[in-house]
Amino acid sequence: MSFDSLGLSAELLRAVSEQGYSEPTPIQRKAIPIILQGLDVMAGAQTGTGKTAGFTLPLLQRLSDKPAGADARQRGARPIRALVLTPTRELAAQVAESVQTYGRHLSMKSAVIFGGVKINPQIDTLRRGVDILVATPGRLLDHAGQRTVDLSQVEFLILDEADRMLDMGFIHDIKRVLALLPPSAQRQNLLFSATFSDDIKRLADRLLNSPELIEVAPRNTTAERIGQVVHPVDKHRKRELLSHMIGANDWRQVLVFTRTKHGANRLAQQLETDGLSAAAIHGNKSQGARTKALAGFKKGDVRVLVATDIAARGLDIDQLPHVVNYELPNVPEDYVHRIGRTGRAGKSGEAVSLVCVDELKLLRDIERLLRRDIRKQVLPGYDPDPSIRAEPIQNGRGNPRGNDRGRSQPRQQSDGYGRGRAPATKATDRSSASRRESGSQRAGEGRTSPKPGGHGHVRRKPADSRSQPQHRHPRSGRGSQRAPLVGGGFNDD
Ligand code: AMP
């Protein structure tokens, strides 16, 4: 099937063919005709499926088919007609780039706004008039607070990576943004999400009018073309194994995930010591540093990019062949997002997880989510020492609520690497684990008006309140980076 049969205009088809795309991806095949009909959409699509073009192309077409309302024309104004909300700056920048790319033969104006950079140039851009605005919620609300953005004429609302926005605690911001828009019945609303939790369904109910459901990959499963393997290894030998694998296999571009920002920094430094060019990317880095690290990685100057989950969200790096989970994520869904960084747009990729005995519970949760076992392979010379017992993951999900802090996990009944059962531990608090980095990342988003704490988040007293400064609201991230956000467990630092 070619793009020609989807009903797109000549200008858009030209832009698509200039990108070198010969045929639409499954999500594009399904979403484009439905969006062109003006229907609301709830789409389940992972990153890497081509979802951005899936909504950007029909959006551009609808906007150019239907000129701005008579009101706006009379006033000579250029109102914001389409709003795309994304969870992270990187994703916002990438979506905005796609809007530019696909819209290059149209006379549409677009802009992107996110925190961590000066607000004044954004104000100037908004003042000059924009048809399509791509934004992260925090900075958008800053503009709304300063009355430098008018969303009252929005005809199209797109929530991209909605699951991640909720994981990052953006639900209140989203509600505040919705209150600034015309009623949902007067808009076309599109919601894209890699996973469908009950929270997402509730948001969809509030937002979408009789939506068409589109799903291109079975829920919560990983793309078939991604080869996945677990290498059991002792924690203290992970770095050695990683350097060995990169060197021995001559991997030139590797994205490595750690659980914490501190861990990302430390690993990047250690890899440098091992002679591998490496950079860390996480929410505590300035926007400039993040952009520079990503550019270096894309160009090939940086061979290993070490990232935390939130920072890596939305990174679009063509043909990324290797993703390494140096540490398993606290939230099983993050595994799906992480490995979605490879095997993009039909290319094959490899996702390698280095798993120590402490992480077996996390591994089992991931396998349960995927509804399949991941292949285990012990690499020669890196056999795990069977005498090492599982310990609670430091600052990790092994102790998600902090209410059993200090207690060690039950002993392993066997080696546990898929060859025996690891003892069960408590269920995870998914949202709390994911919010942690968002707090500090949001601090970097440069809000101009910190909000008071509250917003209904569950807040618990830290287990050791003497050593923990009082924490603030996770969204503003003000206050100590070390402050626990929910429970006394894990700080992404
Ligand atoms: P996305 O899921 O939107 O992040 O897109 C993932 C990657 O697929 C991006 O690098 C796009 O440039 C690329 N892409 C999007 N549509 C197509 C297509 N029809 N054919 C080939 N590559 C595509």
pLDDT digits (tens, 9 = 90+) for 195-253: 788 888 889 998 999 999 998 754 344 555 678 899 999 999 999 999 999 988 888 88
* Residue 478 near residue 453 (C-beta atoms within 8 A): no
Is the distance from the beta carbon of residue 29 to the nearest atom of ligand 1 less than 6 Å?
A: no
Average pLDDT over residues 438-457: 34
User: What pLDDT was estimated at residue 223?
Assistant: 52
48 CA distance to ligand 1 middle (Å) = 6
Q: Is 11 helix (H, G, I), strand (E, B) or coil?
A: helix
Mind listing the domains of the chain with CATH numbers? 3-215 (3.40.50.300), 226-376 (3.40.50.300)
pLDDT digits (tens, 9 = 90+) for 119-168: 999 999 999 999 999 999 999 999 999 999 999 999 999 999 998 888 88
Residues 6+ apart with CB under 8 A from 288: none
- What SS3 state is found at 62? helix
Q: In whole angstroms, how far apart are CA 25 and each of 115, 127, 365?
A: 32, 37, 30
Quote the pLDDT of residue 424. 33
Residue 340 near ligand 1, beta carbon < 6 Å: no
Q: Is it the case that residue 423 has pLDDT exceeding 90?
A: no
Q: Specify the pLDDT at position 416.
A: 54
Element (H, E) at 134: strand 132-135
Q: Return d(Cα 306, Cα 297) in angstroms, integer.
A: 10
CB of 115 sitting under 6 A from ligand 1:
no
* pTM of the predicted structure, to 2 decimals: 0.57
Distance (Å, whole) CA 412 – CA 73: 70
Answer yes or no: are the C-beta atoms of 388 and 420 closer than 8 Å.
Answer: no
With beta carbons less than 8 A apart as the criterion, state whether 306 and 271 touch: yes
> Does the structure show a pLDDT above 60 at 49?
yes
Q: Give the per-residue pLDDT at 391.
A: 84
Distance in angstroms (rounded) separating the CA atoms of residues 193 and 200: 8
**What is the pLDDT averaged over residues 318-332?**
85
pLDDT given at position 54: 96
Residue 298 in contact with residue 269, Cβ under 8 Å? no
Contact present, 437 and 309 (Cβ < 8 Å):
yes
Q: Decide whether any atom of ligand 1 lies within 6 Å of the 49 Cβ.
A: yes
User: Out of 220-224, 328-332, 366-370, which region has the weakest mean confidence (pLDDT)?
Assistant: 220-224
Cβ proximity of 168 and 435 under 8 Å: yes
In whole angstroms, what is the distance from residue 65 CA to residue 82 CA? 14
Alpha-carbon distance values, 116 to 134, 237, 381, 445 (Å)? 15, 36, 45, 4
Is the distance from the beta carbon of residue 24 to the nearest atom of ligand 1 less than 6 Å? yes
How does DSSP assign 170-189, residue by residue? -HHHHHHHHTTSPPGGGSEE
Query: Helix, strand, coil proportions of the chain in percent (round to 5)?
Result: 40, 15, 50
Phi/psi at 129 (5° precision): 105, 130
Q: Indicate which residue's Cα is closest to atom 6 of ligand 1.
A: 48
* Span from the CA of 96 to the centroid of ligand 1 (angstroms): 14
At 412 the pLDDT is: 38
- Tell me the pairing of strands 82-85 and 132-135: parallel
pLDDT at position 472 over 70? no
Contact 49, 41 (CB under 8 A): no
Q: Mean pLDDT over residues 98-102, rounded? A: 96
Between the CA of 317 and the centroid of ligand 1 the distance, in Å, is 10
Poorest-pLDDT segment among 21-25, 329-333, 438-442: 438-442
Q: In the predicted model, what is the mean pLDDT of the chain?
A: 77
Distances, alpha carbon 369 to alpha carbons 332, 376, 379, in Å? 7, 17, 26
**Quick check: CB of 250 below 6 Å from ligand 1?**
no
